[in-house]
Amino acid sequence: RRVLFRSTLRASPEARSSGTTPTTAAIYIDRAGSTEITNSGQIIGDGLAAIRVATGNVSLTNSGAITGDVVFGPGDDMYAPKTGSTLLGTLDAGGGNNFLFLNGAGDFATKTLNFTLMIKNGAGTWTLHNSQAISSQANILDGVLRVAPDGRLQAPAVGVVSGVLAGNGAVD
C-alpha cells in the first residue's frame, strides 16, 4: 500500500464523539503488511494523533508539515524527514526495529522514542534539538550531525564514517 499526500488532512474529533466510526488520528492504519506514506502537504491531529499505526510496517517520508503525535505500532518502521519538513509532536516508533533516516539538511526538534537506529546521510547539516533516544546505534555516514545546546543524542554507540559529529549539546 502507498499513501501519497499533498494537501491538508485534519483529524475530526467530532466524529469520535458523534457515535460514527471512531477517530483516533488523521491517518489510522490497522492492517498487516507494509505501508508507505509520503507527505508533502499538512497532516493535522487537531487534538488527536496525526498518524497512529496499530499493526503493520510503515515507512513515512515527510517533506511537509505534521502537527500532532506520530505513533507507530509493533512493526518495523522508518521515518525520513526531508529538508524544510516539520513534525510538531512526539515521534514514538513503538516496538520492532525502527529506523530514523536523516538525509540532506534541516532542524530536527521532534522528541523521539523507541528508535533502534539513526542514520545521517548526504551532504548538509541536520541539527538535533530535544532528546533523541536511540537504543542501538547512531551513524553519521556523510555530512554533519550537529547536536544543538538544547539537544541530547542518547545512543549506546555513535559511529562517524565520513561525516562529522558537531555541536555543544549532550551525547551519551
Which pLDDT tens digit goes with each residue over 73-102? 999 999 999 999 999 999 999 999 999 999
The widest CA-to-CA distance across the chain, in whole angstroms, is 55
C-alpha 99/C-alpha 115 separation (Å) is 6
> Rounded mean pLDDT of 64-77?
95
- pTM beyond 0.85: the answer is yes
Q: Are 72 and 49 in contact (CB under 8 A)?
A: no
DSSP state of 16: H
Give the pLDDT of residue 15. Answer: 43
Q: Are 122 and 104 in contact (CB under 8 A)?
A: yes
Count of C-beta atoms within a 10 Å radius of residue 33: 10
Give the pLDDT of residue 5. Answer: 55
Count of C-beta atoms within a 10 Å radius of residue 1: 11
Q: Are 94 and 115 in contact (CB under 8 A)?
A: no
